[in-house]
Amino acid sequence: MSIDISHVTKKFGDFVAIDDVTLTIPTGQLTALLGPSGGGKSTLLRIIAGLDKADSGTISIEGVDATRLPPQKRNVGFVFQHYAVFKHMTVAKNVAFGLEIRKKPKAEVAERVDELLKLVHLSQFAHRLPAQLSGGQRQRMALARALAVEPTVLLLDEPFGALDAKVRKELRDWLRRLHDEVHVTTVFVTHDQEEALEVADEIVVINEGRVEQIGSPEELYDEPASDFVMGFLGEVTRLNGVNIRPHDIEIATVPTGAAGASAGYVTRLLRIGFEVRVTVLTEDGDEVTVVMTRTHARAIGLDTDVKVWLTPASGATVVPAMRAL
């Protein structure tokens, strides 16, 4: 069972926001939709939720054809970046809302709200108003509210986007742990590669309305299918017509005799903590970035204007360069 998206296309006027996307999102996993701004991630999430209608194609959720179902019949919970909370209701009432409109017995609602507030570590704030919570606490409340009705699928659109870096990181760890406890199929949109790499079981890279690659964080990082994916999931530099990660280049101050070594001169050395970022202008005219430890740079006597030889480290990920960096 899963979310099956088949040949979905969505246009806004002449603009193709989602271009014939076919994709299976596995049950019980945490899947990230990752890509640059405007790539179509939110549109695809809204189509899964039923908030937007695809022009063509089908969506099935856990074996049920949801293509024509309204959002409230899809059994999905959502959380958006700026979540609309009921400002005049306490945290507990906000979480209870979905259950109360479904006319669940009072005792059952109270029990479930208690359980959910515990899960999101907000029990002591049950009687506060949302305005008396921090941004991170408010997003946790939003998640409890979305989980209250036991959705089959939880959809999160940049849920931590508006929070500062430290709180984002805390919530990210927390979301991972929460997911390990409840295992509800979760799809979240992010443009932050670090967030996706840290949290997701599976990442779907979306660009210009199309799926560029699907895989685990390791697969995407180690075996990117294109220079776009490689560049989006980490830093890249260009050496001899291939894209390569700066820490995957070996640098020597004496000729190594290795086939395909590129000779050049160090033009800049920048020390950042324990790392050194070295810029090398090769004889072929490439400006290459190499990242290494300070100790290593010192040991080989690296400095500006020193002549060096660059080779890809063995086992380095390299992808033919197709477009400008």
**39 versus 77: smaller Cβ distance to ligand ATP:** 39
**80 versus 309: smaller Cβ distance to ligand ATP:** 80
Torsion sign, CA atoms 245, 251, 255, 257? negative
Length of the chain: 325
Q: How does 152-164 read in b/e, with b if 16+ C-beta sit within 10 Å?
A: bbbbbbbbbbebe
**17 versus 120: smaller Cβ distance to ligand ATP:** 17
Residue 204 CB, shortest distance to ligand ATP, in Å, is 12
Strands (E), 168-261: 185-190, 202-207, 210-215, 237-239, 242-244, 249-252
Residue 45 CB, shortest distance to ligand ATP, in Å, is 8
**Most distant CA pair in the chain: distance in Å?**
79
Residue 292 CB, shortest distance to ligand ATP, in Å, is 34
**137 versus 207: smaller Cβ distance to ligand ATP:** 207
**Of the candidates 41, 38, 37, which has an alpha carbon nearest to the alpha carbon of residue 23?**
41
| Residue 66: both structure tokens together | 């949801």
**53 versus 268: smaller Cβ distance to ligand ATP:** 53
Contact assessment for residue 286 and residue 236, using Cβ atoms and an 8 Å cutoff: no
Which H or E run contains 218?
A: helix 217-222
Residue 17 CB, shortest distance to ligand ATP, in Å, is 4
**17 versus 91: smaller Cβ distance to ligand ATP:** 17
* Residues at the interface with ligand ATP (CB under 6 A): 12, 17, 35, 37-43, 189, 191
